[in-house]
Amino acid sequence: MSGTGDIFGLFPAGTTRDADGTLVVGGCRLDDLAREYGTPVMVVAEGALRDRARAYREKLAARWPASQVVFASKAFACTAVQRLMVSEGLWIDVAGGGEIVTALAAGADPATLVLHGNAKTTEEIELAVRSGVGTVVVDNVDDIDRLEATVPPGRVQGCLVRVIPGVQASTHAAHATGHEGVKFGLSPAVARRAAARIEASPRLRMDGLHTHVGSQILVADELAAAVAPLAALGRYPVYDLGGGLGARYTYTDHPPSLDDYLDALIGAARAHLPGDARILIEPGRSMVADNAVTVYTVTTIKPSATPAAPTFVAVDGGMGDNMEVALVGQRFEATIADRVGGGEPVTVVGRHCESGDVLSTDVPLRDPKVGDLLVVPVTGAYCFTMSNNYNGARRIPVVFADGGRARLVVRREEWSDLLVRDVAG
Ligand SMILES: Cc1ncc(COP(=O)(O)O)c(C=O)c1O
């Protein structure tokens, strides 16, 4: 699919171009940031991210006052992002022990953490209970056994039960989590029995039900369709309706607006859920995706060898810092930092030893040259958290840019970091 839209529209709100055409994100020229922090570098538009968090909270509260936005930190689990969410009054969804550790380091009140995981270990349950994590989402009956064995006498652990709603979302198969046969959650009949066990336990409190139909969902009604199956399981004080709203990665993506999504979701809640219940939602991708960009340096250009072969523009990153293409075939657009728009289609590839290490196919770039800065927008979701050291790549830094000032919030790995865990001597 060839990129033929206005790539500028995929950048964080407030992005501009300087007089020489260079992109300016969070008030900072991307070439200045590349000079200061090196490439590849992820640049987060801090103000735009804060505005999004605030909009989520205010728009949900306007529709359902007894509500809470819980940031799905798996989408971007560094302390700077988690701290920003906490400062905007959001709770934090943590998927496993590591995200508990970073959320607590970010200053989150443990009572506002919601622990997920289809295969929580005893160590993670113990960490959660010891840390005072407010809510554990029970995903299997072994979670209940582990919690009962861990919660000390005199303490009561709040629980939600994750229910499979039987909703097949029209997203990539790897992103769909709401249909029958999925590994997450419990079928309604088993969920009912799990809820009864929790209700009977002196150490556990049955707060309510949870569901999540998947990620990168572009149809609001599919997200809203999970509400009625929860209601069929009975009245509870809390219903956590998960995340899943899609982001706009390409010109052909048209995700529902935040208003349209919340109208659909809360419309279903009004139709099916008790009016005095508390509603939680867990956005990840739609919170962070379009509020960050990744800046690379073009390292080499391999001109098209035959009429059928593309011109390859290779950069100094790739699947080490962006697994979304290889994992689910997500399309990204790209541009040269100071020559936005126009140009001939090329294939942008990374530096890793896989033919699948492609950042963007058939993407128009204007006169790309070795040494140019190449920018990929919409990299804020799941790129940081899935980054890796394949081919000995050092994981890339994260810079917050706001009002023309930039600050490093995650440093680039050093070569020596690659040896830190290697204890063979
Ligand atoms: C339980 C749960 N909640 C929330 C999310 C966040 O989803 P998204 O990033 O698509 O909003 C996920 C991720 O898939 C999830 O597994």
> Does residue 2 register a pLDDT over 80?
no
Q: What average pLDDT is seen over the chain? A: 96
Ligand 1 centroid to 284 CA: how many Å? 6
4 pLDDT band (50/70/90 cuts)? low
176 pLDDT band (50/70/90 cuts)? confident
Mean pLDDT (whole number) for 49-60: 98
CB distance 75 to ligand 1 below 6 Å: yes
Which residues are catalytic, by number?
353
> Does residue 330 register a pLDDT over 80?
yes
**In the prediction, which pLDDT does 257 show?**
98
- Full set of structural domains in the chain with CATH: 4-45+290-419 (2.40.37.10), 47-288 (3.20.20.10)
Residue 423 neighbours by CB distance under 10 Å: 6
Burial call 233-260: b when 16+ CB within 10 Å, e when fewer: beebebbbbbbbbbbbbbbeeebbebee
Q: From 56, 74, 161, give the residue whose CB has the most ligand 1 atoms within 8 Å, as the site to mutate.
A: 74
Take residue 117 and report the two structure tokens written for it. 């995981």
Take residue 344 and report the two structure tokens written for it. 């001939």
Take residue 125 and report the two structure tokens written for it. 């349950």
Percentage of the chain beyond pLDDT 90 is 95
CB distance 283 to ligand 1 below 6 Å: yes
